Structures are given as structure tokens and as C-alpha cells.
Amino acid sequence: MRNRIIIWILLYACTLVAAGGAIWFVGDLNANKWIAPSIAPPAWLFGPVWTSLYLMIATSGYRISRLNSSDLKSIALGLWALQMCLNTLWTPVFFGAFDLTGAFTIIVILWSSITAFIVVSFRIDKISGYLFMPYWAWVSFATVLNYAYIQVN
């Protein structure tokens, strides 16, 4: 029973982040006025990519939560929660407030927290670390893209 509760909490957290991002992204009026950098992917790509990433993020969090208690487990879960909070925060700052520089600061910290999570999780559950690698790659690209938006807007 405890396992099911953990699974649902993690999936619910990822779903809330995804839904919150979708609301800001779809409801945004400023984005239509922006100059898009040449490296910007088509809008249709974001839904499938983020859906896949959130499934891997939730699975990774679940795997870590199932480990025996340890300092590294606590650190990994703290980093997992931190990156979820930063992920949630980035979208309204970028799309809602149109604060590209503030969003860039957030995404750099997000990238750092994802990197730290991968490093810690590799020490306690390699699969959890591997599950975060596509997310790390996507956020790496998103960081470059955020900077490109600053440059052209």
C-alpha cells in the first residue's frame, strides 16, 4: 500500500508541474510577440518531450524513494524535490512575467540541481541517474535556448 501511495504522489507531482507549465505556455500572450531564436524547436515538440521526461522523472524519484534510508537517499530526494520546484517556477517566470533573465537564472540553478541529483543517484541507484540523463540533456538545450531568447529579444 505504501508503494502505491508513493507512486501516486510522485506521478501527481509531475502531473501538476506539467499541467502548470501547459497552462502558462498555452495561455501566454507575450510569446506570440517574441522573436524566436533560430534554434527554437517547433511548439508541437514540447508536449511529447515533456510527457516522456516527466514519466522518467517520476520513475527515478520512485526508485530512490524505495531505497533503504541513508544520507545519500535523503540528499537525492531533496535534490529531486528542488528540481521539481525550480522546474515549476521557470515556466511562469519565462512565459508569464516575460523575465528572460530571471528565468535564465532559475534554469541554470535547475540544471545544477539535476546534475547534482544525477551524481548522487549514480552512487545509490544507477538506473535513477540514467533516467535523468535525457532530462539533463533537454534542460541543457533549454538553457541555451533561454539565453538565445535573451539575445534576440
For 115, residues 6+ apart whose C-beta sits below 8 A from its C-beta are 136
Superfamily of chain region 2-152: TspO/MBR protein (1.20.1260.100)
For residues 118 and 136, the answer to whether their CB atoms sit within 8 Å is yes
pLDDT at 27 over 50: no
Q: How does pLDDT run across 89-135, given as a tens digit for each residue? A: 998 899 888 899 999 999 999 999 999 999 999 999 999 999 999 99
What pTM was estimated for this model as a whole?
0.85
In the structure grid, which three cell numbers stand for residue 29, read together? 500572450
